[in-house]
A and B are shown apart, each in its own frame.
Chain A
Amino acid sequence: MESYLFPFDSLICMLLGISFTVWFTLLLVFIIVPAIFGVSFGIRRLYMKSLIKLFEVSELMLSMSSLPPTSYLHHHHNPALFFPPGIIAKEPLSLEQEIQDMRRGGAEPEFDMSDIFYFCRRGVESIVDDEVTKRFTAEELESWNLLTRSNYNFHHISTQLTALWGVGVLIRYGFLLPLRVTLAFTGVGLLVVLTSIVGLFPNGRMKSYLSDKVHLMCYRICVRALTAIITYHDRENKPKNGGICVANHTSPIDVIILASDGCYAMVGQVHGGLIGVIQRAMVKACPHIWFERSEVKDRHLVAKRLSDHVADKSKLPILIFPEGTCINNTSVMMFKKGSFEIGCTVYPVAIKYDPRFGDAFWNSSKFGMVNYLLHMMSSWAIVCSVWYLPPMSRMEGEDAVQFANRVKAAIARKGGLADLLWDGGLKRGKVKEVFKEEQQKLYSKVLVGSSEDCSRS
């Protein structure tokens, strides 16, 4: 009986061996080698075009059902302002105008009991829909992109659509995910090994050259591991040595996206585990800035290390995300002024993801890092646009906060994101009393300012 199994056994082994070899050769030729040299076969763009066709088909299927057709906003290459449809049509009038409107024209602007309605309405508006909370949850899509996780209101529509979704699941989890995980391990492994090797060289031009090449290559492999399709605009404005590059922050992937097109010095806290290993290896090849947890609190120390790095023109530009936390890529929140106080040239960069192919936003209160990476690697793709803005410096008479706001506005405008005053730290902390005082100040100006007029007449 057993003798029957042997020929089949060897056949199966042979088949497995052949398929593995083919698999790895394809991987090498189509993905790793282009990554090393920074060229592209255009496979990913082809993939993206076919995905767009797929979404159009699913849109058609949706519209054929009894639902009213959803409008399909082509905000992919269009950095025009995209405001998600909110529940509120907020009246953009100022406090003074509102209160004067509420009282009959001609009435003296003294305290009126109905003034309370202004604050009351604002309060209820924020209960129904507020600007801050919705920045920290994933952006809502106009139409379904066949991923369960973005399925808010699109429940079971038709069997055809469900079948399409099922095929999608098979492709994503059965083919794409293993491929990407392999690539990711390759990329990270190569990074650690090669940077350690480069670290053995003596400091000099050769070392910097090799370090740049190694970093770029490994980041490019990681980019392919996520099937990230990135369009870079205005590359002539790329950051130069002795400057700071600031960008809006949506996910940890931002680093990989920017670093695969240019070489930067990273800034961050020292971690343990795998990330710690990567950090220690990277710093052997070229100077990155890693802080111990205790040092992070000391603002002077941080500022000094940053300015020392920037003063040395042979060192790479520093990459900083001034928002301090991940925002969901519909807006840019308050920039922390620390990096703007150093007084060197700032190179702003705007990053905008296209949410149709996969949502890159990391909601750290909902998902851990591993979960997040799994989500990333089982989406269709990560499609984004990067704009390099012209360099900015602090002007005469401008303080760090004003400079930060100016840079923030430029980034928001270029990327088509809403420019908000809110502090990203609000995700976790309480509202500062100072905001309430602002409201009180505005209101008192309306009253007291006018009573001064009265007393004069």
Chain B
Amino acid sequence: MGSTSSTLLKIPNVEVLMQETGFSPAHMIRLHDRFKALDKEGRGHLCPQDFGAIKELAMNPIGDRIIGAFFCPGKETVDFHTFVKILAHFRPVDKNRPKEPNSPEPINSRSNKLRFAFQLYDQDKDGKISRDELLKVLQAMLGMQVTEEQLESIADRTIQEADLDRDDAISFEEFRKVSPEILHSRCFIKV
């Protein structure tokens, strides 16, 4: 009957959320507070401008893409449920999780993390990273610091190395193969 449980009860469907995402009650409260802090007008959901107001995100070269990852196609708002589920991708991998054959893959599995990164490249969501899409990401990350030719040569080289079925695009499987194993240990934040 302490204050922890009463705050927890304010979050709708919190049990289900904790089950799906693997966040602890303390994390859920923190994230809920953060959600409310970002939702300055108290509407109960976030829109792209609320994310844009985070200064550190605005200075991130791929900030816009990250914001886009939170919004399902067609939707213009993010509710707390979706917010937490997307952040769950970045939880450290649970090493001790038993491998049950029938349970769905946890959100923070290596595969799902890679899928998240893949989506940052694949903006038209056709399942492949085309040369154009790769170029756009390179432009975002490098800006004016390198010439057009250098960008194109980097893109060409990358596709050459990764593209195994020679369709001039990188599919998710090919993306997986070129991503280092050690990736999952860097792709997490300690919440």
Contact = CB atoms under 8 A, between A and B. Distances in A.
A115 interface: yes
Given A157-B2, A436-B59, 11 more contacts: A88-B189, A119-B62, A120-B187, A125-B189, A126-B56, A127-B54, A153-B4, A157-B3, A426-B55, A435-B59, A437-B143
Interface residues of A, number: 57
A18 interface: no
Contact of B66 (A111, A123, A448): A123
A103 B180 contact: yes
B164 interface: no
Interface stretch (A129-137, A213-221, A295-303, A378-386): A129-137
Contact of B145 (A65, A128, A440): A440
B120 A116 contact: yes
Chain B contact patch, size range: 35 or more
A46 interface: no
A20 interface: no
Contacts of B54: 126-127, 130, 132-133
Interface in B48-91: 51, 53-63, 66, 87, 90
Instruction: Determine the main DSSP class of A at the interface with B.
Output: helix
A370 interface: no
Interface in A106-120: 110-120
Interface in A147-185: 152-157
Interface in A333-348: none
Interface string B1-37: 1111011000000000000000000000111011001
Contact of A124 (B59, B90, B182): B90
A113 B60 contact: no
A66 B3 CA distance: 9
A114 B183 contact: yes
Interface string A430-457: 1100011111110110011000000000
A422 interface: yes
A74 interface: no
B143 A113 contact: no
